[in-house]
Structures are given as structure tokens and as C-alpha cells.
Amino acid sequence: QVQHNLDAPYEIETTGTLTLIENALSVDLSNTWRQIKIERGDTTTIQAADGVLKLIGPLSDLAFDGASTISTADVPAIAVETRGRLVGDRIDFESLSAANEWARLVADGELLLSPQVSWRFDVELSELDPAVVDDRLNGKLEIIGNASGRLEEGQPLLDFDIGGIGGELNGHPVEGSGKLSFADERLRFDDAVIRVGDNRANLDGSFGKQLELNARVRLLDLSQFGLGAAGLINSDLRLVSDPKTFQASGNIRGEKLGWQDYAVDTLDAEFNLPVTGDGRVDLQLFSAEQGSIAAEIDGRFADDQWNGTVQELVVRRELLGEWTLGEPTEFSLSKARLKLGQLCLSDHSIDGAVCAALDYDFSGPLEFESSINGLPLSGLPQSLPAGASILGVINASASGSFANRQLDANANLQIDGLALVATFEGDEVAASFEEASVNASVVDNKLVGEFEFRLDDATDHAIGSLEIADLFDPGSPIAGRATMEFDDLALASFFAPDLANPVGRIFGRLDATGSLVAPQFAGELGLSNGSVDIRRAGVSVTEVELLLRQSKAGELAISGSAKSGDGFLNIKGQTSLGAQKGVRTEIRLDGENFTLVRLPDMRATASPAIDVVFDERTTRVSGSLGIPEASITVRSVPQTTQRSSADAVVHRGDAATETSRRMLFVDVTTELGEQVFFSGFGLTTGLDGSVRISGDSQSPFQGFGRLVLREGRYQAYGQNLEIESGELVFNGPLTNPALNVRATRTASDNTVAGIHLTGTPTSLSSEVYSEPPLGDADALSYLLTGRPLINANSEEGDMLNQAAFALGLTTAGSVASRVRNQLGLETLGIQGDAENRQLVAGKRFGDRLFIEYAYGVVDSLGTLLLRYQLTRRLMVESRSGSVRNVDVVYSVRKE
């Protein structure tokens, strides 16, 4: 009997028995440990926790069964299990598994301890999570194969035959195979093939003291990798590299390439860089939006450095024109230094030039020089309203040096002839600048800078200056001041085309003090005596006063007022900046009868009492919004407008996408005044009531309240119906209120017919009624024609039948049957599905002629069918509508 506790170097408890059978020792032992720590170096610690190892049998054929949890600092805990036998110098692993949240490995095989250490295993790696490499990669991968190897003179020789790679990546199937081997400190891969969806790569090569790579890449859809790239790339390349030499050759072809905000329609590159002699690189990029770049570079790699010459460089852009390299430019690149000679691109048609030179020692020293002369602003990327343009020519320069943490530099920017020009709805807007410049100098890390923008009226301006004692000292003091004053507000219309005839005075002042690490700002920005016409709303906002003022660090006060129509709007708020809460803005909007819109088909006023709170992640809107007056007239809707099915569910974006966006929370009660009217879709009515609207940007908005229809009338099928009562009750999704509407008509014989609509917009039902009580068909006839069904003609019968189905009457089928019988028609009804539904009416004349007319409920197209029986077997059929045809039908009956 054995019971033993090992205290050092690890705590292991052993229990069991030792038995001597025929001079052979047999064991039955259980070894357990709570935690074993193995230190490797100064930082790496491997822990084996909750372990057990059982040993059973004679030493010549010893069975083992063990498990433990292995963990390190950078890898999730690994659950390890193994079972097998030790037979002489051979260890048979019946099973060996290791699993964590990244993957699961299962293997079986053998390990030989003599005459030399060697091994052979069948391996299966499954549930491999590609998100370990990049969290944008989703899916599960698996690899199966067999591994073998041995130790020769203390050095490992490894072979791994990958029988298959499978699984999926971002929803696309993954396949692959190949062979890996390791010997003489060199890893080799042969016949490696990997496919992801429509993308494939074939690889051969080795990695060790020298890198060799042969690759054939066919990436037909980069978007399938889910890394933000798009397009197609085909490439063949060969690469050989060691610490002393570099050799590469191949080509790269790309189409419709995109990454983030960058896009290239075509990429074409060819390169041949031999070990000795000059190599060459030809590169061409083309983008329909950005233009094209073509370059030719030659050179050689020697003594750990690439020495080359840019022989040709052409940049083409539609608005900029063609800029070409004036003279070949030499450059060199090594691990320690990048040097570029004077490289100049010029456009002789405008006498423009852009030049740059650089000498950068990666250990610190840097010298640079650049200049821009005659570059038109109109050729640069601009995001401007339609009809607007910026004119002017850029002249700029920058030069300097940086060494031993000391920067000396000069930079200046001058825009000659700067002008903002626009035409909006026939109104011309223009602002010309007499001066537009920025200058800065740095001497021994001290920055002195200034800017000046002055309109040609010599009074409107924005000027400023800034000094920083030491750019590289976080505690360095700063001192700056900026002022602005504009009485000509034409600039407002330039950047916001909906604003017309802006008037007022914009003024501002900003003082900067403190240090780089803790700057302090004080100042104000305001608009006084302002007024503006808003084109799309048809209103004039007058007496505009707005002031943003910062009197102490971390707080910005906001106040303002304006008038529109007979009403007013006041705004008051504060923005604060705190170490704990970050940026937070609170704004209060109060007003009464403020005119929002005044157009022929729409007018509305508002009386808000709204609180708006912004922080770094959310926007919260709460309070009340009164609508004292509103009149909305809807003339028509697009013909393609369709109502979604009641079964349709609108999903917002994935949760992961939503959490990265600003959240919006709304809790506002709207109250309608006595002068609110709606006219459209045949309905004319006043509206009363209030609805509380609440919700957020990740869920549908909810409504709670009631709107009442008053003095309403509804026109349909040529009739003007009086709305006896009507209400919309909100108690859930804002877009799906409960309806309860009654509309009536009194006929000349004093019969009162009405329709009662109930339900929701997605599940609407209706029924007709009358006083005195009549059948549904007669009640509907009175409602739409003012007469009983017996007096209806054929045209009115078609209308009644169509109305029964269009209004969703629960008894539409019986109504259609009654109308058909009353009019003596052979057929009368609705055919087809929701997308091609038709109203069909037909009648037989004699024994040979049948006439049928079909009218499309959705497409409003009519089709006339005439069928004439010539003989018992021969019939002529004619159809006319959007397509006309005549068919002759011969029928044969087989017994």
C-alpha cells in the first residue's frame, strides 16, 4: 500500500498499491495535484491545475490515463486529456486531446524512445476560431493530417501531411491541403493550396536563413474575407531573400479594389528585381473618381540597401489635369535610412509644380523640403452643395530639420484669388477674399504661427495667432488669440443652400492659455440682428440672436432666440467637459406658435417645451410639443408606393453595428390644437388629441394616446361620405394604431348607409350597415350609388364588386355573387394574387360568343377577351390590351 505526499519542487499526492508478481513489479497508482507552476525565464509561467495521472499494470506494459488544465498568461486555459500504454521503449497514445475556446486538438499515435526518438501521429484540429487572428473573421475551421518526425543529433526533423482543411469563414466554404517539413532549421511547404469561397492561393517555398516563395494567387472576391477589402486580385510572384540579397519577380493585377474610403478601378504592376544588375517596377493605378497614377522605377538591392531611380511618374485627374515628372529622381531605402532626391511634378498648361525632398535617418535625424506652386483649388477633392465651387490657387512651402529632439522648420500657405461662388435656384452667391494665408515657424521647438482670412470689403475677417514654448514638452505654456467679424453673411448660403438672404453680424473671440497637456479656452461666438429665409420651408426667421460663451474652463453657455410668423423660439443650454462624464450638453427649447413651414400644401406652427441632452454616446429628447396650427394636403403618392404585408418585419442593423452608433432616446408628448387639418387620399378632416411618443434607435417607436377626427368627409368611388365618428388609438407601435371610423351617406329616399372601419393599418376590416337594415350588397349599393342594387347598371355593378374587395369587406364574396346574379353576368369576381389581381366580368351571348373584360387592380390595365366557337372543335380567341393577339384553337378529345 502506497500513500505519499511530495512537497518539493511540486506538491503531488500519490496513493495506490505496488505488487510484486513473479519478480515483476506491478503498480496501481493515482497521482493528483492541485496546481503545478513551471517558471520559464523571467516572465513566462506555465500552470498545470487540477491534474490526475493514473498508472496501472506491470512496468513492461504500463497503462496510463491522465488529465489536467494548462494555462499561461496569453492563451486561454487548455484542458488536456491522454490515455495510452508504455510498452518497453514505445509509448502508444490511444488518445490525446487538448481543447480551449480557440480550438480542439485530437490525436493518436506512438512515440519511440530508441534506437532514436521518433514519433507518428494522426491529428485532427477542429472548432478552430479564426477570430483569434482578427475579430472580424467569423466561422469554424478544421485541419486533418498526420505528423511524423525524429531527433537526429539533437535536432528535430518534422513532416506534416495536411490531408484536408475545411469549415467556413464568414459564411464561405474553406478547403485546403499541403505538406510541411522542418529540417536543418528550415521550414518547407510544398503543394500548399487554400481556398476561401471564390478565392484561391497555391504556395511553395521555404523559410529559414533564406526565404523562398513561389505563389499563384487568384482572389476573385476580397470581400469574402470580411476584412473591409473588396475587389479582385490575380498575382504570380517569386521571392528569394536573405540578410544580404533580395530577388523578386512577378505581377499583380487588380480590379474594382476598395478598402475603407479608398477605391481603385484597376491596378497593374509588374516587377523584376534580380540579385545583380538593375531591376524594374512598372505600376499603374486607375480610378474613375480619383484619376490615375503611372510610375516606372528601376534600381538594385545591394549591401542591405535599395538604390533606385524614379524614371517616370504621371498623375492624371480630371479637374487637376496631367502632372508629370520633370526629371528622373534618385532615392535609396535601407533598414536605417530613407532618402529621396528632389522630386517635382508639373503641369505646364497652368505653370503649376509640386516638389518634395526627404532625408530620414530612422534613428532620429530628419530633413525635409516641399513646395506647391500654382495648384488650383478647383482640382482638389471637395464636398460642396450642387452649384457651388471654390476658386483660387495654392502656393505653399514647408522645410525644416529634426535631430536630437530639436525641430527647426518654416511653413506657409497662401491662397491667391480665393473666392466662394454658387448659384442656387437662380440666386447668385459670391464672396471674394483679399487675403487668405497661414504662416508658422519653429525655432528650437518654439512654435510661432498666425493666420488671416479677410474679405475684399476690408472689414470682414478672421485672424489669429498662437505661440507654444516647446512642442515636445507637455507642460509647455501656450498663448493664442483668434477673432472674427462678418457682416456679409453670403457665406451662410454658400454652405447651406436652403438659406436665402441671410442678414446679421457674426462675431467671435477665442483666447487660449494653459499648457499643452491642460489647455484652457475662453471666448464667445455669436450672431446678432440676424434674419434668414428658409427656401424649402417657405418661412422667414427674424430677430435671430445666438451666443456661445465660455467664461471658465470646461463650461460653455448657449443662449438664443428667434421669431417666425407670429411666434417665437428661445434656446438656453450649457456644455460641460468633465474628467468622469466627458462632454455633456443640455439644451432647453421653449416657444409658442413658431412657424415651422408655410407652403401651398403644408403649413405648421409649433409650441415646444423640449429638453435635449447630448453626451459622448447618447442623445435624449424629452418634453412636450404643441402643434397649435397645421394644414397638410397630400396631392398624390408615387405609383410605385406599396404597403408592406402585415407579416413583414423590419429589422434594424446587427446589434454589434448599433452599439457603435450614437443612441437616441425619445419621450415627447405631442398635443394638437384646434386648427390642425389633414387632406389627402380622399379624406378631409380636422384632428384633435395628444400622443406620447417614446422609444430609442434600436427598437420601434411606441405611441400612447388618442387622436379624434372631427368634421371629416371621405370621398371614394365618386361619393362624398360624412365621417360620423373617428378615432385613432395608440397603445403600442407608432405606425400601427387602432382605428375606429364610421362614415355614412343619406340617400334621397332617406335610407342611411354607412361603413364601419376597425382594426389596424396592417389588419384592417370593414363592414357596411344601413338604416333600415338591408343586406350587405344593398347597403353597399346605397353607400356608393344612392340606390338599391336592383337599380344598378353594369358599370355600377363593376364598381360595387371592386369596392367590396378593395374595402376588405368580410362578406365580399357574397356581395360579388349577388351583384353578378342581379346583372345577369356569367362571371364577376376577383382573380390573381396580390401582385396581379384583376376584376373580371363576363357574359355569354347566344351559344357561340363569349365576351369578358378584366381590369387590373394594381396596374390599372384593361384586357378584352372575345371567344367565338366556329365549329364543335374549332374556336377563335382574341385578346386586346397591353398586348394584342389572336389564337385559333383546335381541340381533339381522346377516349
What is the DSSP annotation of 594-622? EEEEEETTEEEEEEEEEEEEE-SSEEEEE
Query: Has residue 812 got a pLDDT over 60?
Result: no
Q: How many helices (H) and strands (E) does the chain have?
A: 5, 54
Query: Has residue 231 got a pLDDT over 60?
Result: yes
- Assign 768 a pLDDT band (cuts: 50, 70, 90): confident
Q: So what's the pLDDT on residue 616? A: 82
Across 178-194, average pLDDT: 92
Its pTM surpasses 0.75: no
Q: Which amino acid, one-letter code, is at 276? A: T
Which of 77-91, 229-243, 488-502 shows the lowest per-residue confidence on average (mean pLDDT)?
Answer: 488-502
Across 47-73, average pLDDT: 92
Q: So what's the pLDDT on residue 410? A: 97
Name residues whose C-beta falls within 8 Å of residue 83's C-beta, 6 or more positions apart in sequence: 64, 65, 66, 93, 94, 95, 96
Name residues whose C-beta falls within 8 Å of residue 552's C-beta, 6 or more positions apart in sequence: 522
Q: How far is CA 381 from CA 289, 315, 384, 573, in A?
A: 10, 15, 10, 36
Contact 315, 302 (CB under 8 A): no
Q: How far is CA 189 from CA 161, 176, 186, 213, 480, in A?
A: 10, 13, 10, 9, 62
Q: So what's the pLDDT on residue 829? A: 57
Dihedral angle sign, alpha carbons of residues 356, 359, 361, 366: negative
Task: Name the CA dihedral angle for 320, 325, 326, 327, rounded to a multiple of 10 degrees.
Answer: 170
Query: Has residue 619 got a pLDDT over 50?
Result: yes
HSE-up of residue 305 (Cα within 13 Å, Cβ side): 10
Between CA 828 and CA 839 the distance in angstroms is: 7
Between CA 836 and CA 852 the distance in angstroms is: 17
Q: So what's the pLDDT on residue 655? A: 40
- Assign 579 a pLDDT band (cuts: 50, 70, 90): low
Between CA 842 and CA 864 the distance in angstroms is: 10
Longest dimension (CA), the chain: 124
Beta strands 663-680; 618-634: pairing state? parallel
Residue with cell 349599393: 781
Cell of 250: 512577378
Report the mean per-residue pLDDT for the chain: 85
- Assign 497 a pLDDT band (cuts: 50, 70, 90): confident
Between CA 68 and CA 98 the distance in angstroms is: 10
Query: Has residue 8 got a pLDDT over 80?
Result: no
Between CA 704 and CA 798 the distance in angstroms is: 41
Q: So what's the pLDDT on residue 657? A: 40
Write down how long the chain is. 895
Name residues whose C-beta falls within 8 Å of residue 535's C-beta, 6 or more positions apart in sequence: 424, 425, 497, 498, 499, 500
Of 292-306, 527-541, 794-808, 839-853, where does the model show the most confidence?
527-541
Tens of pLDDT, residues 416-441: 999 988 887 777 888 889 999 999 99
Across 463-468, average pLDDT: 96
Q: So what's the pLDDT on residue 658? A: 41
